[in-house]
């Protein structure tokens, strides 16, 4: 999934959740075209969101070849995204794609990040939250696959045999 499709998905989720009544698909398409998004990306986003809209979640596309678990995770709300630094947002997506978090762990992580931390939430805060819910082995795997976590793993001096 490219960045445009992800942005379109977020816009669609916001528009759909803001409206009590159904929104006309044509109006949404025109709005997105006016915003400068290519029709191919709009079509891809519509296919993803409306195929899963009844469940209020979408499947996540694996990042860097990492396989996803079968569980589905919800998207971040606009308020949650605004509390994250840009780097933390990208790292959080990689964590989400790792398949290590089921829905319960995901929600607990988000509660920890947004209720226990003052904004902006950065990668260090994300690492602290993950330490509360993941095993040292899972943390080591994340540190190997997500470069931004490398320094935290070295500082923690975890040794996994």
73 domain residue, yes or no: no
| 141: Cα separation from own chain's centroid | 19
In-domain check, residue 47 = yes
pLDDT at 44: 77
Same domain, 51 and 82: no
Structural domain that includes position 50: 3-55
Answer yes or no: is pLDDT of 81 > 90: no
Specify the number of domains making up the chain. 2
Same domain, 46 and 104: no
Q: Is residue 161 part of a domain?
A: no
* Most confident option among 49-53, 61-65, 151-155: 151-155
28 domain residue, yes or no: yes
What is residue 157's three-state secondary structure?
A: coil
CA-wise closest residue to 55 among 81, 73, 36, 31: 73
The verdict on 35 and 93 lying in the same domain is no
Interior/surface letters 108-133, b for 16+ CB within 10 angstroms, e for the rest: ebbebbbeebeeebbbebbbebbeeb
């Amino acid at each position: 999934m490219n960045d445009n499709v992800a942005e379109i998905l977020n816009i669609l989720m916001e528009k759909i959740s803001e409206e009590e009544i159904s929104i006309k698909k044509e109006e949404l398409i025109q709005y997105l075209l006016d915003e400068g998004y290519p029709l191919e990306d709009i079509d891809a986003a519509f296919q993803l969101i409306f195929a899963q809209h009844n469940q209020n979640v979408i499947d996540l596309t694996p990042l860097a070849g990492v396989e996803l678990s079968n569980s589905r995770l919800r998207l971040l709300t606009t308020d949650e995204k605004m509390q994250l630094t840009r780097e933390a947002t990208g790292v959080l997506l990689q964590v989400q794609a790792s398949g290590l978090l089921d829905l319960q762990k995901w929600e607990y992580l988000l509660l920890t990040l947004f209720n226990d931390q003052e904004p902006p939430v950065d990668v260090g805060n994300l690492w602290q939250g993950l330490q509360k819910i993941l095993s040292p082995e899972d943390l080591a795997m994340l540190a190997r696959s997500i470069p931004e976590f490398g320094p935290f793993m070295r500082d923690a001096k975890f040794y996994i045999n």
